[in-house]
Structure 1
């Protein structure tokens, strides 16, 4: 019996490399299958849809500037109003279609109670889109 010496430099030893040929063959076959089946999957019925136009234009809502100064005075678009006048104007504005957006600016020294009353009145009257304006340093 002949035993081979592992230190011999012959070609009968183990190969540590992977044979890539079968892998490439399988991948090419899959690529061909996908190329052939893709047009079948993408098949759709071509139709011409009717055209319609809307007579209602998308109106941009009005923007109302509400300010509260350090003396707790309320301003509606730079015009001084009382809380009851604010309530009446808010109710009138809320009836517009689309309802306006309110941009609220309050001095940092104003009492929170005044801001809360303005917010509460706005919500009661139907003005629900309210944004707070602040300064960024």
Structure 2
């Protein structure tokens, strides 16, 4: 008796639909993802007893975060170089040196960072220099 052998077909996995689905999911995630860039600087102000803040028509505020990054009226200063800080303050002041100059420094920022801003403000001729603090709880 002669038996016939069965022909075994090779099993193939078609990856094309799988790749199509993965690309669709990738495109969907890229289109629905929002890239959030934090625009506020988190500061912990030092405590001090003082007078309430007055409202001024023109104010220049220099913010120093805990890592020593400077921001002048919301515009970030690229380096800690005195010339960069000076040019940013000049741009914000627009030639008016009688404006209120406020230094808002994080409690963890170094003393050198605050002194650098005070030195630049003094060289530019500002006379109303204040350091921002918070009332203790």
* TM score, norm. by length of structure 2: 0.50
Point out which structure has higher relative CO (alpha carbons under 8 A, 6+ apart): 2
